[in-house]
């Protein structure tokens, strides 16, 4: 798929409980600057929440991203993963590296071969989340938590997010990531750490990014940066993509 002379192609992958809708403010900015932007929604979430079932697992979410790139015939893609979305992004890069020019992890989960998303969290936190899933829907999906934990405070932002969050398929957090090659598949990678306030669940991932020698940029906003600071997020994505 072609872009304008100066245009870039962004694919923005959301995190847990969210959908492609969460990027709308960033999309408006980037498209206004002449870039191609798509925001796939992972199976079982957002407008695809009616597809939630016990068969929705990590492999399916990885396939969601792969098939979006393939069927939209997207190439030279800046592939961005936010929070949990970093995991299917890693899996997709492992499979269709040739379609991607750069990976950007926005306050995202970084898993190694054989790890599951739950492995990043303290055991006590995992137990609380699984217990909530059992109570709410028989262990099918993780219920969304308080948006304040995502660094969202403005009433208009709270209303925007609270009305759209959906339970997240539990299996995607339990499944181990299976890779054929190294994390990132040898592609250029950048990591964006959201710092005001910091989201403790990804602290380990900030360290992993630095230990891997990836350039790490800081954004002085909360974990849901695309909601709380869409202009800063768009500016940083654009800057990183042109380096």
Tokens 């217990």 correspond to 131
pLDDT at position 1 is 36
Given the residues 49, 53, 55, 83, the one annotated as active site: 83
Residues 33-84: tens digit of each pLDDT: 999 999 999 999 999 999 999 999 999 999 999 999 999 999 999 999 999 9
Could you give the angle at the alpha carbon of 16 between the alpha carbons of 210 and 175, nearest 5°? 80
The answer to whether residues 161 and 191 touch, using CB atoms and an 8 Å cutoff, is no
C-alpha 63/C-alpha 75 separation (Å) is: 17
Q: How confident is the model at residue 2 (pLDDT cuts 50, 70, 90)?
A: very low
Active site residue 185: no
Distances (CA, A) of 205 to 76, 92, 120, 200, 215: 26, 19, 8, 10, 13
pLDDT at 137: 80
3-state secondary structure at position 144: coil
For residue 212, the Cα-to-chain-centroid distance in whole angstroms is: 19
In this predicted structure, what is the pLDDT of residue 139?
Answer: 78
pTM for the model: 0.95
Alpha-carbon distance 99 to 124, whole Å? 39
pLDDT at 193: 98
């Amino acid at each position: 798929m072609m872009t304008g002379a100066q245009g870039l192609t962004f694919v923005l992958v959301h995190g847990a409980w969210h959908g492609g809708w969460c990027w709308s403010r960033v999309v408006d900015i980037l498209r206004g600057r002449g870039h191609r932007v798509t925001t796939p929604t992972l199976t079982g979430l957002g407008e695809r929440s009616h597809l939630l079932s016990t068969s929705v697992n990590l492999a399916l979410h990885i396939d969601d991203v792969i098939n979006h790139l393939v069927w939209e015939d997207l190439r030279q893609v800046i592939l961005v993963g936010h929070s949990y979305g970093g995991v299917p992004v890693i899996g997709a890069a492992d499979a269709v590296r040739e379609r991607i020019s750069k990976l950007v992890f926005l306050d995202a989960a970084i898993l190694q071969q054989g790890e599951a998303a739950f492995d990043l969290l303290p055991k006590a936190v995992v137990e609380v989340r699984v217990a909530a899933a059992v109570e709410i829907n028989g262990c099918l999906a993780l219920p969304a938590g308080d948006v304040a934990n995502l660094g969202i405070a403005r009433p208009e932002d709270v209303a925007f997010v609270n009305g759209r969050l959906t339970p997240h398929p539990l299996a995607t957090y339990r499944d181990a990531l299976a890779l054929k090659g190294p994390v990132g598949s040898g592609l250029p990678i950048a990591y964006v750490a959201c710092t005001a306030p910091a989201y403790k669940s990804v602290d380990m991932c900030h360290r992993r990014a630095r230990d891997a020698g990836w350039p790490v940029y800081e954004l002085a906003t909360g974990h849901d940066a695309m909601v709380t600071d869409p202009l800063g997020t768009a500016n940083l994505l654009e800057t990183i993509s042109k380096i």
